[in-house]
Structure 1
Amino acid sequence: MVKRPISDFKRKTAARLRRTNTAAEAILWRHLRRLDVKGSHFRRQVVIGPYVADFACLAQRLITEVDGSQHGEEEGLKRDEVRTRWLQSEGYRVIRFWNNDVMSKTDAVMDAIYNAIAVTPPRSPLASDPPPPGEGEAPRGESH
Structure 2
Amino acid sequence: MSNYYIIRNVFIKQNIIPQLPYNPNLKERAKALRQAKNLPKVLFWKQLTKGGFHNIDFDRQRIIGHYIVDFYAKKLGLVIEIDGSSHNNKEVYDKEREEYLVALGLKVYRIMVVDILQHIHLA
Q: Which amino acid aligns with 2:104?
A: E
- Length, aligned pairs only: 103
What is the Cα deviation at residue 72 of structure 1?
3.7
Does the C-alpha gap of structure 1 residues 3 and 99 become closer, same or farther in structure 2, counting only changes over 3 Å? closer
**SS of alignment partner, residue 16 of structure 1:** helix
Gaps of 5+ in 1: 108-144
Match of 1:17 in 2: 33
Q: What is the alpha-carbon distance in structure 1 between the residues aligned to residue 20 and residue 111 of structure 2? A: 28
Q: What is the alpha-carbon distance in structure 2 between the residues aligned to residue 26 and residue 87 of structure 1? A: 23
Pair 1:36-2:53 in alignment = yes
* TM-score, structure 2 as length reference: 0.75
Residues 71, 79 of structure 2: 8 Å contact kept: yes
Listed as ranges, the matches of 1:107-126 within 5 Å are: none
**SS of alignment partner, residue 11 of structure 1:** helix
Give the share of equivalent positions with the same residue, in percent: 25
Q: What is the alpha-carbon distance in structure 2 between the residues aligned to residue 104 and residue 4 of structure 1? A: 35
Q: Which amino acid aligns with 1:96?
A: R
* 1:6 alignment partner, one of 9, 20, 23: 23
Match of 2:96 in 1: 82
Q: Deviations over 1:33-70 (max 9, x none)?
A: 134324x1101000011110100001110000011124
Residues 22, 66 of structure 2: 8 Å contact kept: no
CA RMSD of aligned residues (A): 1.9
Pair 1:58-2:58 in alignment = no
